[in-house]
Amino acid sequence: MINSAYTPPLDLVRRPRRNRQNAAIRALVRETRLHTDDLIQPLFVKDGKGGPESIDSMPGIERLNVKDLIKETVQLARLGIRAVALFPQIDPALKDARGKYAVADKNWFFGAIRQLKKEVPDILVIADVALDPYTTHGHDGVLDPATGQVANDETVHILTHYATRLAAAGADMVAPSDMMDGRIGAIRDELDHEGFTQTSILAYAAKFASAYYGPFRDAVGSATTAGAPTLDKRSYQLDPANLREALLEARLDEDQGADILMVKPAGLYLDVISAVRMATTLPIAAYQVSGEYAQIHAAARAGWLDLEKARHESLLAIKRAGADIILTYFARDMARSLR
Ligand code: PBG
């Protein structure tokens, strides 16, 4: 006969649950914390005077004109977010196959950066370096007519000029997201040569060819102009299957002078963040991309996930994996909830 009422204590020396029994103890033993200082808010910028435009797949994120960008940045600073990553949405009429408008003197985006730095000098402005906002095909560089693939060296040449112009406009950091070979060294060289020795390079070192960039491409309009349902960047972005190759990219970017190494996307690549963390002494950034943001929002809208809890856990995991810095569309909301 089994006497189910009799429950003798187990003879355990280790009872890890003691460290979890109340909020005070849990706070004492917590290994990882999110802090507003570590967050960067990506923002989409548009030309003209039109009001904020919402983006269907990214609830709470809008394309802003320069005036609204300045207002938003001031609010972010009040919440403790001191760095923004800017992405321009370029009018389709200004795009061509070579993305020439990127390096045109009259590119309004340079003026936007200049104005933002003038009005909110303390905000750290990070400018993405790639041609996808400017090309009709939506690729990050110019195409080689023979192969149809993005031409590496020619693209590096253009991006180098673009990065220097962004620095001249006042960008504190340039962030090459194009995955061309040799671009970090080329950009560092030209920045130094032009006297921008204090402009930092945040290298998208391990950027994977991910399905999770979809909502971003809606936001900057690089998906629609391509005229294809999905843009195939696998000849330059990393294969999601490859960790060692990610480490090679990280090493090359470090050797060429990157100040910060980034892994992107973040949540699906925690092993990569952790491996890059072990392989370098540089600060590591991770980009929680548009699709990660959209996924959490979509599930929360359906009532299937708790938005705040999922948001917090997703960011905490990225930090725990070894990221010092997180680019996330949740930055503003997170800063509010951390107050
Ligand atoms: C473009 C760029 C992309 C993102 C940042 N810079 C998209 C792409 O490579 O197609 C994605 C960011 C996101 O999804 O939030 N070079």
Indicate if ligand 1 lies below 6 Å from the C-beta of 131.
Answer: no
CA distances for 96 relative to 107, 150, 160, 161, 168, angstroms: 14, 14, 19, 17, 24
Indicate if ligand 1 lies below 6 Å from the C-beta of 155.
Answer: no
Q: State the fold for domain 34-227+236-338.
A: TIM Barrel (3.20.20)
Do residues 191 and 164 make contact, with C-beta atoms less than 8 angstroms apart? Answer: yes
Grade residue 226 by pLDDT with cuts at 50, 70 and 90. very low
Q: Which atom of ligand 1 is nearest to the CA of 329?
A: 15
Q: Distance between the two ends of the chain, CA-based, in angstroms?
A: 58
Q: Which atom of ligand 1 is nearest to the CA of 290?
A: 15
Indicate if ligand 1 lies below 6 Å from the C-beta of 213.
Answer: yes
Which among 129, 235, 267 has a CA at the least distance from the CA of 191?
129
Q: To 5 degrees, how large is the angle CA 254–CA 260–CA 263?
A: 90
Mutational pocket test of ligand 1: of 179, 213, 318, the residue with most ligand atoms within 8 Å of the beta carbon: 213
DSSP string, 292-321: HHHHHHHHHHTTSS-HHHHHHHHHHHHHHH
Q: How far away, in angstroms, is 104 Cα from ligand 1 center?
A: 22
CA distances for 102 relative to 87, 131, 185, 259, angstroms: 12, 7, 20, 24
Grade residue 2 by pLDDT with cuts at 50, 70 and 90. low
Give the residue-averaged pLDDT of 159-182: 98
Q: What is the mean pLDDT of the chain?
A: 96
Indicate if ligand 1 lies below 6 Å from the C-beta of 70.
Answer: no
Catalytic residues: 207, 264
Give the residue-averaged pLDDT of 297-320: 98
CA distances for 41 relative to 93, 129, 324, 328, angstroms: 28, 17, 15, 6
